[in-house]
Amino acid sequence: MLAIAVALSLGAGGRTPAAPSPRDRALLERGRMLVAYGSCNDCHTPGWRESDAFPAARWMTGTAIGFRGPWGTIYPTNVRLRFQQSTESDWLHEIATRAGHPPMKWTDLRALGLDDRRAIYRFIRSLGPAGAPAPRDVPPGREPATPYYDVNPQPAG
C-alpha cells in the first residue's frame, strides 16, 4: 500500500498530491491484486519468472524476450509507458475490440467487470513511467534479434 502512495506522489511531478480517497485507495489495491492474480508480471516484468521477490519499481515495464508463433514474434508491452500515453477510455476500448495474439489473455480481460478493468488501468498508471519501450514485433518468416519463447504448435509424438 505504501508503494501505491509513493507512486502516486512521484507521478505528481514532485509536488505533494492530495491524499487519495478511501475509494481510490481501494480501487488501486484491487488493481494491484488483479495484476498479481492475472499473472500480468509473468510476461510484462523482466526477470519476474526468475525471482520470488521483485521490486514494484520494475513491475509492468515490458521485456525484450519475445513470443514466436505463426503470427511472428511479439513482445510484452511496457504497459507503464503505454498507460502514460493513453486514457482510461482508450484502454477500455482496446479491451473490447482488440483480437491480439497468444499468450496475452484478452478474452480474460474482456470477462472482467468494468470496475475491475478500470482498477487495473488506474493501478498500473499510478506506478508512473519507467523502463524502455519493448522491441517492435517481428513479422512471420523473419528471425528476431532477441531471445524468444517458441509457441508454434508442434507435431505430435
Contact 32, 123 (CB under 8 A): yes
Domain boundary assignment for the chain = 2-150
What pLDDT score was predicted for residue 14?
Answer: 53
Tracing cell 484478452 back to the chain, one arrives at: 106
Torsion sign (Cα): 125, 129, 131, 135 = positive
3-state secondary structure of 104: coil
C-alpha cell of residue 82: 503505454
- Encode the chain (157 residues) as per-residue pLDDT tens digits: 444 444 444 444 555 557 778 889 999 999 999 999 999 999 999 888 777 667 788 899 999 999 999 999 999 999 999 999 999 999 999 999 988 888 888 899 999 999 999 999 999 999 999 999 999 999 999 999 999 999 998 899 8
Contact 148, 67 (CB under 8 A): yes
Whole-number Å distance between alpha carbons of 18 and 10:
12
Q: Which residues of 134-150 are buried (b: 16+ CB within 10 A; e: fewer)?
A: bbeebeeeeebeeebee
